[in-house]
Structure 1
Amino acid sequence: MGWNYYQKNIASTQVEIQTEPQAFQEPAIAITQPTESFSCDGRQHCSQMRSRAEAEYFLRSCPNTKMDGDHDGIPCENDSRF
């Protein structure tokens, strides 16, 4: 009984799928990268950072940082400013 319902109601209303490739269209809204740029300048501690993004950059890119005590890759977890 269920199969008969499917054949009459669902299968007969299927939409034809277009198989020709579509031309690429530019997105309506461009996604931009953040304009902030950081550089390693010797700072090592969370108290010296101005933002979470800056701390993440320093942890990832600069030597001898002291911002990730539990070594989980997340800097300044206990800093309430961020």
Structure 2
Amino acid sequence: MKQLIILLIIASLGWYGYTKFQDSRKAQRVVEAEAQYSKSAAATSPKPHSSSIATFKCDGRTHCSQMTSCAEATFFLRNCPGTQMDGNNDGIPCERQWCK
């Protein structure tokens, strides 16, 4: 019985550590996507960052196949309703096509 309790405690600590690790990986991917978005937005327009966001607008597109860049997909995911571009809900859209 004592060994079972110890095993459960070790398993619980392992699970807790694993979820914390996954959360930190997810946060790192979001930071990388934001950096890539900023870099591509700066490269497409010499205007300030806020005006480059204005180049995208919600127009009904909801899928990755309708996007032309990671920056555009990220804008749509964050600002437009009904998008279907983040299958694993990690905040990074179109990971197979644009935001690798």
Q: What's the TM-score once normalised by structure 1's chain length?
A: 0.55
What displacement does 1:32 show? 3.7
Residue equivalent to 2:96: 78
Judge conservation of contact 2:93–2:99 (CA < 8 Å) in 1. Answer: no
Displacement of 1:81 in angstroms is 8.2
The runs of 5 or more residues in structure 1 that have no matched partner are 1-30
Are 2:66 and 1:48 aligned?
Answer: yes
1:10-39, CA deviations, whole angstroms, 9 ceiling, x for partnerless residues?
Answer: xxxxxxxxxxxxxxxxxxxxx942636100
What percentage of residue pairs aligned between the two structures are identical? 56
- In the alignment, what sits opposite 1:63? 81
Q: If the length of structure 2 is used for normalisation, what is the TM-score?
A: 0.46
**Root-mean-square deviation over aligned CA pairs:** 2.3
Number of equivalenced pairs: 52
Q: In structure 2, do the counterparts of structure 1 residues 77 and 38 end up closer, same or farther at CA, with 3 Å as the change threshold?
A: same
